[in-house]
Amino acid sequence: MTTSSRTTPPAAIPGRLPRLSRLGLLLYPFVTAAVAINLFMLGLMGQALGFAALSPTAALLWALPLGLHASVLAARWVRRLLAEAGGI
């Protein structure tokens, strides 16, 4: 018995990413940039407490793995907002 793509939800089609993953990949560059900016600003505020300043390059390197987790959370948040609005 075969199923057509009309009856199978897009997340269940083999070879396709679930909608949450696609949304997370779409948001990743923007979320990572936001994380990098926030880390850099946190490093600047840390100077008032006696910590060493965080360079923009170091903030960007730290933001690459942290942005992955933040983009998953952002994608979940956007999906929940869309579900509340009745868009899904």
Please state, in angstroms and rounded to a whole number, the distance separating the CA atoms of residues 44 and 19. 37
Full domain range(s) for residue 77: 20-85
pLDDT of residue 58: 96
Q: What is the pLDDT along the chain (88 residues), one digit of tens a residue?
A: 555 445 555 555 566 667 778 888 999 999 999 999 999 999 999 999 999 999 999 999 999 999 999 999 999 999 899 889 986 6
- The answer as to whether 6 is a domain residue is no
- The answer as to whether 77 is a domain residue is yes
Please state, in angstroms and rounded to a whole number, the distance separating the CA atoms of residues 37 and 30. 11
- The answer as to whether 27 is a domain residue is yes
- The answer as to whether 8 is a domain residue is no
CA 48 centroid distance within chain: 30
- The answer as to whether 37 is a domain residue is yes
The total of structural domains in the chain comes to 1
